[in-house]
Amino acid sequence: MERKVNLGLMQMRCQEDNQANFDRAILHIKEAAGNGAQIICTQELFKSPYFCQVENPDHFDLAEVIDEKNPTIKKLSELASDLKIVLIASLFEKRAPGIYHNTTAVLDADGSFLGKYRKMHIPDDPHYYEKYYFTPGDLGYKVFDTKFGKIGVLICWDQWFPEAARLLGLQGVEIIFIPTAIGFSRAEEGTT
């Protein structure tokens, strides 16, 4: 059966004020839903500027526990329910003392928290010091059965490893979302 699903993909400039970023993201999500988006995906680590270009222990303060009790998840869950949208939100997760992940939370159109995906492939290149911050994911590649279809999530560098998409495909995924925070880096200008 053929069906149409409208997608909203969010990419915004972030400032140092995480609450202002979150509030602006809420406005963008509402705007996308108002324009007909049924599934909306934020950019990677949408509540802050991409902080992995430097190794700074202060950035660990940005991490939060990702579960139904978390205030961010509660707010996003209410938003998904009110707007009747599926929402994919990329966040910095604190799993346990000293264990952090680059994680997406998946919320269904009724606001239910379907689960999360933790980024598996963690780069450590000049200007991308993610191994300083993130532990590789341990939840596997999941397909989430949402109101609007079976979706999978990878995060940024995961896309360069085709087996990830293949494993999602074997599970019947219909749409794969890949939130990312980066594109072209000015630091790489003139390099090959």
Q: Which residues are designated catalytic?
A: 44, 119, 156
Dmax over CA atoms of the chain, in Å, equals: 51
Are 103 and 85 a contacting pair, CB within 8 Å? no
Nearest of 161, 73, 72 to residue 122 by alpha carbon: 161
Are 133 and 52 a contacting pair, CB within 8 Å? yes
Report d(CA 142, CA 120) in Å as an integer.
12
Report d(CA 37, CA 186) in Å as an integer.
32
User: 3-state class of 113 per DSSP?
Assistant: strand
The residue to which tokens 């606001």 are assigned: 111
